Structure 1
Amino acid sequence: MTTLDLPEKKMNDEQAIREEVVTASRTLSPSINLNVSIPWYSDLMMELNHHAAVERARDRNFKFNCLRLHGVPVAADKTALNRQYVIPVFQTDVLAMYRSKNSYVWLANRSNRTRLPFHRVNMSEKSKEIQRAGRLAIRALYALGLDYGVVKIGVQPGGQLVVLDVIVQPRLNQEMENRFVHFIYLYGKQLSNAVKPVEKVMIGADPEFIMQSEEGSLVLASKYFPRYGRVGCDAVWHGANRADKPLVELRPKPSTNPRNLVVQMLQGMFYAAKKVNDASVRWLAGGMPYPGYPLGGHIHFSGVWLNFKLLRALDNYLALPLMLAEDPRGVKRRPNYGYLGDFRPQFHGGFEYRTLPSWLISPTLTKGVVALAQLIAAKYPYLRHDFLREYPVQKAYYQGNKEVIREKLTEIWTDLSGLSDYDRYRSDLDGFFNWIFSGKTWDESVDFRSRWKLPPFNRKRQSS
C-alpha cells in the first residue's frame, strides 16, 4: 500500500486537499503523510492512518481480535440487529451520522442481504443511543491505531451496541467528503500550535480511593462525604440504593502548577481523615483493591488540543510506565476500565484522561504522574515513539505482562528526559522513574495513609 504524500503548499486550501485525498472513484486515501516541516516534531505528528495500521485493519480476523482485546464489543457471526449506524470519524470527532431507516431485524451474516436505506441523523439530537454510538465509533478507530475512517455500528435487541466494521478507505457521499477534507485541513492548521509552554497547560484530577473495615467489608463513602465538594463520593452506587456510594473522590482545584495540585490533594486527604476519624478503616488505592470496584486516577486538561496523537502519547509515556509499578491484581480492571485512549470531553472545553488507575498509592507516584501528565500534554509533538502501535505491546498492557513493557522503559525515559522542560520538575520525575526502574510494585491491599503520613485520628488515642 502506498501512503499519499500531501504537500505543505496545498495544506492551506481545502480544494487542493480534496484533489489529493479523494480518489477518482470517490473514496478516501487510506493513509496520508503531511509533508509539513516543523522543527523537532516527531514523524508521528505528520502521519494520518499509518500504513501498518491500515494493513492490519484490512485483515478482518486481526481487526476483530484487536477490538476485542481493547474491550470493544463486536458483532458475532450471526447477529440480529434492530438498526445500524454509519459513522465517519476523524480522531476525536464524529463528522456525521447515518441511521438505517426501518426498525427491523437484519442478520449480519445473511448472504442475500440488500443495501439498507439510511437517513442522516441530526447531530443536535441528544439521545443516549446516539451519544453511545458516537463514543463507540471513536473508541474502535483508536483501538485499531487509525486516525480516520468510517465505523459501522449495529444495535442489537435490548439496545446493546456492537461494531460491525471499520472501513479505512470508505466510499464518500458529498457530506462525508466535505467533512473529511475540512478536518484534514484543520489538523494541518493546528499542527504548528500543538506545542505549549508547560505553564499554559491547566491540569486537574479526581483520583479515587475506597475504604474497607477491619473485617474486610466495604465502608461507604456516602456515610462521610457529600455527593459534591472538594472531597466527595463518586456517582457509582452500591447495591439497590443509589444513595449508597462506595468511592471517595478527591477534587482539587485545577492549576498550572503540578505541586499545587498535589498540595491540594494532601489537604483533601487531611480533611477526609478528620471526617472518617477511624484508624480501623483502611484506605485503599490502585486498580481494583476491593473486588468489583475499579478505581481511577483521572487527569483533566485545559489549554491543549485534544487529538489522537496526544492520547497516544499519554498512553505510551504515562500509562505504560505506571503499569510497571501496579499491583498485578490491578489487571482485572482492564479492559472494561483503564482501556487505552479512554477520554471524556468536559463542559469547560478541556478533556479528562481516564486510562490510569488511582495513583494515590504514594506521594512519589502522585507527584510524578501529575508532573509527567503536564509535561506530555505540553510537549508531546516532540516524542518519537508509539510502542502501542505494536499488537504484542497492546496485549502485554491488557494482560499485565510487565516484561514486554519493561523493554521499552529506557527509550521512554530517554525521550522524556531529553525535553528541555524535564528539568522544571526533575526531582518529581526522577523520583517517579527511580521507582519504576527499581521494579517495585505497589500492594493495593495496604492502607496508603502511612506513605502520606496521614493521621488516623483514632478516638481512643485522642481521649487518652
Structure 2
Amino acid sequence: MITLDLPEKKMNDEQAIREEVVTDSKTLSPSISLEVSIPWYSDSMKVLNHPSCVDRARDKKLQFNCLKLHGVPVAADKAVLVRQYVIPVFQTDVLAMYRSKSSYVWLANRSNRSRLPFQRVNATERSKEVQRAGRLAVRALYALGLDYGVVKIGVQPGNQLVVLDVIVEPKLNREMENGFVHSIYTYGKMLSSAVKPVKEVTIGADPEFIMQSQEGELVLASKYFPRHGRVGCDAVWHGNNRSDKPLVELRPKPSTHPRTLVVRMLQGMLYAAKKVNDASIRWLAGGMPYPGYPLGGHIHFSGVWLNFKLLRALDNYLALPLMLAEDPRGVKRRPNYGFLGDFRPQFHGGFEYRTLPSWLISPTLTKGVVALAQLIAAKYPYLRHDFLREYPVQKAYYRGNKEVIRGKLTEIWADLNSLSEYDHYRSDLDGFFEWMFTGKTWDESVDFRSRWKLPPFNRKGETP
C-alpha cells in the first residue's frame, strides 16, 4: 500500500491539505505521512494510519479477530439489528454521527445494508446510546492501531452495541471531508508543542485497593469511608444494595512533582489505617485480588495534549513493563478492564489513563509508575517504539504471556534512558526497571501495608 506524503509547506493550509488527502472520487487517503522537520521526533508521530494497520483493517477476518482480542463487541454473521450508526473518527474525536432512519429490523450481513437511509444525529443529543456509540467507535479505531476512519456500529435488540466495520478509505460527504481535513490540519499544528517540560505536566491518581477478613470474606469500604473525600469508596457496589461499596480509592491532590504525589498517597493510606484500625483485615492491591472485583491504578494528566500517540506511548512504555511484574491471576481483569488505550476525558480539561491495575503493591512500583507516567507524557514524541502495533504483542498482553513482553524490555528501558530527563527520575525509575528485569512478580494475596510500613493502630490511634 502506498502512503500519501503530505508536504510540510501544505500543512498550514486546509485547502491544500484537502487537495492532497481527498481523492477525485471523494474518498480519504488511507495512510498519510507528514513531512515535518521537527528534530528527534519518532516516525510514529509523523504517520497517520500506519500501512500495516490499514492492511489489517482491510482484511475483515483480521479486523474482527483484533477487535475481539481487545474486548470490542463485533456483530455475528447473521446478527439482528434495529439501528445502525456511521461515525467518522479522528483519534479521540467523534467528528459527526449518522443514524439509520428506518426502525425495522434487518440482518447485519444483508448486502444492501449500505444503502439504508441515514440522518445526521443532532450535535446536542446526549442520549446514553449516542454516547456509548461514540465511545465504542473511538475504542474500535484505537484497537486496530488506526488514527482515523469511519466506524459502523449496529444496535441489537436489548440495546447491545456491536461494531459492524471499520473503513480506512471511506467515501466522504461534505461534513466528513471538512472534519477530517480540519483534524489533520489541527494535528499538524499541535505537533510542534507536543513535547513539554516535565514540570508543566500535572499528574494525579486514584489507585484502588480492597479489604479482606481473615476468613477470606469481603470487607466493605463503605463501612469505614464516605463516598467522597481524600480516601473514599469507588462507585462499584456489592450485591443488591448500592450503598454497599467494596473498593477503597485514594484521591491525593495532583502535583507536578511525582514524589509529592506519592507522599500524598502515603498520607491517605495512614489516614485509612486509622479509620479501619484493624490489623486482622488484609489490604490487597493488584489486578483482581478478590474474585469479581478488578482494581485500577488510574493516572490523571493535565497540561498535555490528549491524542492516540500519547496513549500508545503509555501502553508501550508503562503498561507493558508493569505487566511483567503482575500476579498471573491479574490477567483475568483483561480485556473487560485494563484494555489498551483506555482513557476518560475529565471535566478540568485533562484526562484519565485507565489501563493499569492497582500499583499500590509497593513503594518501588508506585514511585516508578508515577515518575514514568510524567516522563512519558512530557517526552513521548521522542519515543521510537510501538511494539503493540504487532498483533502477537497485543495477544501476549491480553493473555499474560510475559516472555514475549520481556523480549521488548531492554529496548523500552534503553529508549527511556536515552532521554536527558531520565536522570531527573533515575532513583525511582532504576528501582522500577530493576524489578522488571529480575522477573519477580507481586503476590496479590499479600497485605501491601507491610511494604509501605503502615502500622496497624490500636483503638487510641497509637501504634502498639
TM-score range, shorter chain: over 0.9
Match of 1:227 in 2: 227
Alignment of 1:428-439 (within 5 A): 428-439=428-439
1:170 and 2:166 matched: no
Structure 1 runs of 4+ off > 3 angstroms?
A: 111-114, 458-464
In 2, the alpha carbon distance for the partners of 1:449 and 1:268 equals 12
Report SS of the residue matched to 2:324: helix
Alignment of 1:200-215 (within 5 A): 200-215=200-215
Contact 2:457 2:463 in 1 (8 A): no
How big is the shift at 1:181? 0.1
In 1, the alpha carbon distance for the partners of 2:205 and 2:293 equals 19
How big is the shift at 1:344? 0.2
Q: Name which of structure 1's ranges 257-266 and 98-107 shifts more when overlaid on structure 2.
A: 98-107
Match of 1:242 in 2: 242
In 2, the alpha carbon distance for the partners of 1:195 and 1:68 equals 34
Match of 2:370 in 1: 370
Deviations 1:290-345 (A, max 9, x none): 00000000000000000000000000000000000000000000000000000000
Deviations 1:334-374 (A, max 9, x none): 00000000000000000000000000000000000000000
1:125 and 2:122 matched: no
1:261 and 2:261 matched: yes
1:41 and 2:38 matched: no
1:402 and 2:379 matched: no
Matched pairs, number: 464
Unaligned stretches of 5+ residues in structure 1: none
In 1, the alpha carbon distance for the partners of 2:458 and 2:330 equals 30
How big is the shift at 1:105? 0.8
Alignment of 1:305-454 (within 5 A): 305-454=305-454
Alignment of 1:4-43 (within 5 A): 4-43=4-43
Amino acid at match of 2:364: T
How big is the shift at 1:102? 1.7
In 2, the alpha carbon distance for the partners of 1:288 and 1:357 equals 8
Q: How has the CA–CA distance of structure 1 residues 23 and 270 changed in structure 2, closer, same or farther, with 3 Å as cutoff?
A: same
1:273 and 2:273 matched: yes
How big is the shift at 1:111? 4.0
Task: Report the TM-score when normalising by structure 1.
Answer: 0.99
Match of 1:73 in 2: 73
Match of 1:198 in 2: 198
Q: How has the CA–CA distance of structure 1 residues 427 and 25 changed in structure 2, closer, same or farther, with 3 Å as cutoff?
A: same
In 2, the alpha carbon distance for the partners of 1:240 and 1:3 equals 54
Report SS of the residue matched to 1:325: coil
Contact 2:456 2:463 in 1 (8 A): no
Amino acid at match of 2:212: Q
Amino acid at match of 2:122: N
Deviations 1:175-201 (A, max 9, x none): 000000000000000000000000000
Amino acid at match of 1:412: I
Report SS of the residue matched to 2:450: helix
Match of 2:86 in 1: 86
How big is the shift at 1:18? 0.2
Report SS of the residue matched to 1:388: helix
Match of 2:51 in 1: 51
Q: Name which of structure 1's ranges 114-123 and 126-135 shifts more when overlaid on structure 2.
A: 114-123
Match of 1:290 in 2: 290
Unaligned stretches of 5+ residues in structure 2: none
Deviations 1:385-421 (A, max 9, x none): 0000000000000000000000000000000011011
How big is the shift at 1:112? 5.3
Match of 1:189 in 2: 189
Contact 2:274 2:461 in 1 (8 A): no
How big is the shift at 1:110? 2.6
Contact 2:300 2:353 in 1 (8 A): yes
Report SS of the residue matched to 1:161: strand
